[in-house]
Amino acid sequence: MQGPRERPLAFPRDPTVRSFLDPLFKLLGGLGAFFIFATLAVEVVNIAGRQLGFSMAGMDAYAGYFLAAGSFLAMGYALRTGDHIRVTLILQRLHGRARWWMEVLCLVIATLLSGYFAWFAARLVWGSYSFNDVSQNVDATPLWIPQLSMALGLFGLALAFAEQLVYVLRFRRLPPQPNEAANIE
């Protein structure tokens, strides 16, 4: 446990869990970046097509699918690397044991909520697949395909929260904040 005047501790590399999960989160982050770039490419092609007098049906729908895929797939990676936005108005005012307990409470709630959303997103994918649900747009894409990225991304986010919770409970230390981690020597 760290006191209010102690230097913050880094998130140590636990060889059993962290090394096992590193490739998964890097893959999810890479896929997220790919789909964000694909959104840009689809929109540029769509804009250029309009300027040149032709239009491809369904391009807006695919831009939306790619944007959703990029956003959801990158969530776990963003949380794990400290790029996810955390509102710490109350946490930053607490110190010592009270802060540790509040962090545990927040991580438990975040893990449960993201797991709940991941579960129901997976059920949505299965339902769309089972009923052969397709997009109402011109493209008529089977909806389970774009919904799958949402379920995978939410599973990654739940896994990232669970990993942080296990760290806090196992090492009895707070995870570093992004600005604190930059100052650690």
DSSP one-letter code for 8: P
User: In this predicted model, what pLDDT tens digit does every residue of 99-154 receive, in sequence order?
Assistant: 889 889 999 999 999 999 999 999 999 999 999 999 888 888 899 999 999 999 99
Task: Enumerate residues 6+ apart whose C-beta is below 8 A from 91.
Answer: 99, 102, 103, 106
Cα 148 to Cα 156: distance, rounded to the nearest angstrom: 12
Whether 16 shows a pLDDT value over 90: the answer reads no
Task: Enumerate residues 6+ apart whose C-beta is below 8 A from 61.
Answer: 135, 137, 138, 139, 141
Q: Where are the domains of the chain?
A: 18-86+93-181
**pTM (global) more than 0.85:** no
